[in-house]
Amino acid sequence: MITAHDVSFAYDGTLVLDTVRMAARPGLVVGLIGPNGSGKTTLLRTLYAALTPRAGLVSLDSTDLATLSPRQQARRLAVVAQDEHTDVPLTVAETVLLGRSPHLRTFQRYSIADHELAAAALTKVGARHLADRVVTGLSGGEKQRVLIARALAQRADHLLLDEPTNHLDIRYQHEVLQLVRTLGVTTIVVLHDLNLAARYCDEVVLLHEGRVQAKGSPDAVLRAETLEPVYRIGVRRVRSDDGLHLLFHPLGTGSEAATR
């Protein structure tokens, strides 16, 4: 379980997060949603200790994250950052093996078990056939699978992803998030697409101007009365056999018969 306890953060004196409280319970997928500039990525970065809160703290289970060494953090937290650079000409297999690094001693080489774990991670994300390819030559969806495989190879029990569907076409967006749902680890994911959040998240946290505006199940949070003041766009909820869908329209032009 990863928890933000009244976390605040500021850039050059400008408050970006203001006493944020949230928790990701074991095994759940929690989506961080909100307009641009609402603090989603900043919050995620405090949750994996890339940023130090100005006030409050982040805990892993009952342990203050700040008291853990970088190696200890890496054993518990796996991160897929936004637009992660993969310019180094490593193969897919080499990239995924990097996930085992937090478990090695200084100058220790990868073991047979490390290679087997990396291979198993690639198999789980459906990318074993890419093992000998150079990462820089992969498509966006393939790269995301490889980065998730690297995270799986860490054997961390928390996975944090910053807009993993960014720049992906519709097919890969769904494939990546469906994959995330099958992993069975505590996951926090930043998403812009509210329909993806509705479909793949167990819970969502809506941020607005650095504060938590609402949190709970997608059905409870993704409602017109909650979203319209934050996004300043009209929202209509539609239900189908496939679940909840949101339709958007300029305020004042949508159907008043929307299901809320």
For 177-233, write each residue's pLDDT tens digit. 998 898 889 999 999 999 999 999 999 999 999 999 999 999 999 999 999 999 999
Q: Residue 99 domain-assigned? A: yes
* Beta strand residue intervals within 39-178, DSSP E: 55-60, 63-64, 77-80, 158-162
Lowest mean pLDDT among 81-85, 115-119, 156-160, 174-178: 81-85
Q: Residue 254 domain-assigned? A: no
| DSSP secondary structure string for all residues of 83-99 | T----S--BHHHHHHGG
Q: Quick one: pLDDT at residue 54?
A: 93
Q: Quick one: pLDDT at residue 85?
A: 64
Q: Residue 247 domain-assigned? A: no
In the chain, % of residues over pLDDT 90? 64
Q: Residue 240 domain-assigned? A: no
Q: Could you tell me the CATH number of the domain that includes residue 111? A: 3.40.50.300
Q: Residue 238 domain-assigned? A: no
**Which domain covers residue 66, as residue numbers?**
2-231
Count of structural domains within the chain: 1
Query: What is d(CA 195, CA 201) in angstroms, rounded to the nearest whole number?
Result: 10
pTM over 0.85? The answer is yes
Q: What is the mean pLDDT of residues 32-44?
A: 95
245 C-beta neighbours (distance < 10 Å), count: 15
Q: Rounded to 5 degrees, what angle do the CA atoms 115, 120, 124 make?
A: 150
Q: Is pLDDT of 257 > 50? A: no
Q: What is the mean pLDDT of residues 71-84?
A: 84
Q: Residue 259 domain-assigned? A: no
